[in-house]
Structure 1
């Protein structure tokens, strides 16, 4: 199972489903409220995807979006973040590489995508 994880700042209700509708098939995601954990599914290249939104990540302003499946629409968290930024026009963050749960984050650095461009930053 592969996964992608990005962090969306000030996520608006419905924004994730609007974005993913053009990226995946058979999307089933009710993100009309994003104050609690939201779970959904979709298909990509015939494989099932699990989609989960976790509000309150890194404080109240960010929502973690995790997409899991055998085949994924993007090759990396950064590619996923770029697509999300183009669709949602809000700050998106993601890890800088092949980070796995339990690994230290490289120097505390994350990719930040926003109206200023793409930059590696320390999350604070």
Structure 2
């Protein structure tokens, strides 16, 4: 099982489903209320995957999007973030890819994608 996770700032209703409709098959996700947890499913290359939205990640302005499945359309969180940014044009963040559960996060760098481009930043 693979997973990808990105963080979307100021997520708008329906934005994730509009983006994923062009990327996945059989998308079933109701993201009309972005203030509460939303879960859905889809398929990619015939494999089923799970989609979860968790509002209030890293403060009130970010929503965590987690995609889990055997086969995903992107090979890294950064590739996923780039695709999301092209579709939504808001701020998207993701890990650099080397963080492991249990590692300290105080000085951890993240990718931030926004109108200024792609930059490595400390979250705060």
Asked if these proteins are the same fold (TM beyond 0.5), I'd say yes
Number of the residue aligned with 1:94: 94
With the length of structure 1 as denominator, give the TM-score of the two structures. Answer: 0.96
With the length of structure 2 as denominator, give the TM-score of the two structures. Answer: 0.96
Number of the residue aligned with 1:78: 78
Distance in 2, Cα, partners of 1:27 & 1:99:
29
Superposition CA RMSD, Å? 1.2
Number of the residue aligned with 2:48: 48
Aligned residues: 124
Alpha-carbon deviation of 1:83?
A: 0.2
DSSP 3-state at the match of 2:90: coil
| 2:20 counterpart of 1:15 | no
Consecutive unaligned residues in structure 2, runs of 5 or more:
none
Query: Segments of 4+ in structure 1 off by > 6 A?
Result: none
Distance in 1, Cα, partners of 2:49 & 2:103:
24
| 2:94 counterpart of 1:112 | no
Consecutive unaligned residues in structure 1, runs of 5 or more:
none
Q: 1:50 to 1:24 in 2, by over 3 A?
A: same
Alpha-carbon deviation of 1:103?
A: 2.8
- Alignment deviations for residues 76-104 of structure 1 (CA, whole Å, 9 cap, x no partner): 00000000000000000000014333233
DSSP 3-state at the match of 1:19: helix
